[in-house]
Chain A
Amino acid sequence: MIKLFQRYILLFIILVLLQVWVLNNIQVSGYINPYLYVLFILLLPFQIPNWLLLVFSFLLGLVIDMFCDTLGMHASATVFMGFLRPIVLQAISTRDTFEAGTFPSIHLFGFNWFIKYSLLLVFSHHLFLFIVEAYNFNAFYLILWRTLVSTFFTILLIVLSQYIIFRKQ
């Protein structure tokens, strides 16, 4: 349990630093920005209580906000994503209970399931984030376009990370 906790703390720190130092400086064609840090929420174990999930989501968003100087923006989006996670899990999973100690991964549940799972959550997060960033619906198609493209890049990175870093699981 303690070991698991430490692993997630480590993952948290790595993802935040990666996001802040590397990914935030990559801006493909001006406005496409992958937000890989949401991987942390995706990979949290199934057994996590819902309230703790929300707390972690909020903390993650808040830390990113502190680095990006956009207090509240990422936090609101990650909390939204954390809120959706149990709902999405319930909707797309065939079994009712998951094995203790497991977490969503491409090796355990297959490529299709994982893509479906991460696509729904990442898209919700990005859409929410971009709407909050724009703070109006005047340029809704631009927001939608940015969401789609950024989601694509984020998913790409997530899948790559699944094959490169988490393959031993």
Chain B
Amino acid sequence: MRSLLNFIHTYHFIILFLLMEFFSFFLLIQYNDYQRASFLNSSNQISGSVYKKFSGMNQYLSLKEKNLQLMNFITDSRNASLTSFKQEKVPLMNVYDSIYLQQYQFVPALVINNSINKTNNYLTLNIGRKQGIDKGMAVVSPFGIVGVVKEVSANYASVISLLNQNLKVSAMFKESGYFGSINWNGSNYQYVTFSELPSHISVAIGDTIITSGYSAMFPKGELVGFVSEVDKSETGEFLEVKVQLAVDFKRLQHVMVIKNFLYQEQMQLETESSHD
């Protein structure tokens, strides 16, 4: 307060001058038609551009809400789409109960923690056991696969990212149907290695890689990425392909967790048969 008074005392001349000028211009604009018209004109130009900037900012601020709406819309449509239902084309069985038959359910989630620069990366989602999330569920984004749920707490889920060397996902070429497995080599967050492919197949740059659906976690046909480099110099009989991921992990926000209602059944059967 004292320094403020000192300031006013030191600069009282300039402050008084500015105040009087402001007041004069206020009078000028208030009571003189020509100046008012021209002032309003120029201020309209200024305020117009300010309003434009502001509306842009407001749009940006509401993106979060918009994204959530969009995500809900996507999950709804995916829940309703045919690929979420187990195709029962066995003639012996004539049950068309859609609730019973639904194999996949999509639950929207928000990524609240994410890393891309470690050798083994994990994500954290804002939903957990209370929202029906369980270990082993697949996580996808609208653009492609993201990872698999590893641990769940009451309200959060920890997801092994695709950018984790411990995760292997069964994938295949969309066109030819040859399958192999996807694994990250730990360097660039945009690329994964598609290996265990037979060496005789022909691969073109840009071929689409999708999930095979063999691992029971991911539904068949989820997008993984596109072939960016074919490495044929390997002497072994397996071919390795570098795949550019469809998902940009660096700006991952909205994902969907896929519940597979038949997961337990398939896993149980597979373990039983492998025990034999």
Contacts and interface: CB of A to CB of B under 8 A. Distances in A.
Interface string A36-77: 000000000000001100100110010001000011110110
A58 B25 CA distance: 12
B25 A71 contact: no
Given A71-B31, A72-B29, A76-B24, A83 B17 contact: yes
Contact of A51 (B13, B21, B25, B29): B13
Contacts of B12: 50-51
Contact of A72 (B13, B16, B26, B34): B26
Given A61-B24, A135-B38, A136-B38, A72 B17 contact: no
A132 B28 CA distance: 9
Contacts of B16: 50-51, 54
A136 B35 CA distance: 9
A54 B31 contact: no
Contact of A80 (B21, B26, B28, B38): B21
B40 to A, nearest CB: 12
B20 interface: yes
Interface string B190-215: 00000000000000000000000000
B27 interface: yes
Chain A CB within 10 Å, residue with most, of B12, B23, B32: B32
A79 interface: yes
B30 interface: yes
- Report the contact-size class of chain B (Cβ under 8 Å from the partner): 20 to 34
Contact of B31 (A57, A58, A72): A72
Contacts of A54: 13, 16-17, 20
A41 B177 CA distance: 95
Contacts of B31: 71-72
A147 B14 CA distance: 25
Contact of A50 (B13, B23, B29, B32): B13
A58 B17 CA distance: 9
Contacts of A83: 13-14, 17
A70 B36 CA distance: 12
A65 B25 CA distance: 12
- Report the contact-size class of chain A (Cβ under 8 Å from the partner): 20 to 34
A59 B20 CA distance: 10
A87 to B, nearest CB: 10
B21 A76 contact: yes
Contacts of A86: 13
Nearest to B24: A76
Contacts of A71: 27-28, 30-32
Contacts of B21: 76, 79-80
Contacts of A132: 28, 35
A79 B17 contact: yes
B38 A72 contact: no
Contact of B28 (A51, A57, A73, A136): A73
A124 B161 CA distance: 72
B13 A73 contact: no
Contacts of A79: 17, 20-21, 24
A48 to B, nearest CB: 12
A79 B19 CA distance: 10
Nearest to B38: A135
Interface of B: 12-14, 16-17, 20-21, 23-32, 34-35, 38-39
The 4 A-B residue pairs with the shortest CB-CB distance, nearest first, are: A72-B28, A72-B27, A76-B24, A71-B31
Given A72-B26, A80-B21, 14 more contacts: A50-B12, A54-B16, A54-B20, A58-B24, A71-B31, A71-B32, A72-B25, A73-B32, A75-B20, A79-B17, A79-B21, A82-B17, A83-B13, A136-B38
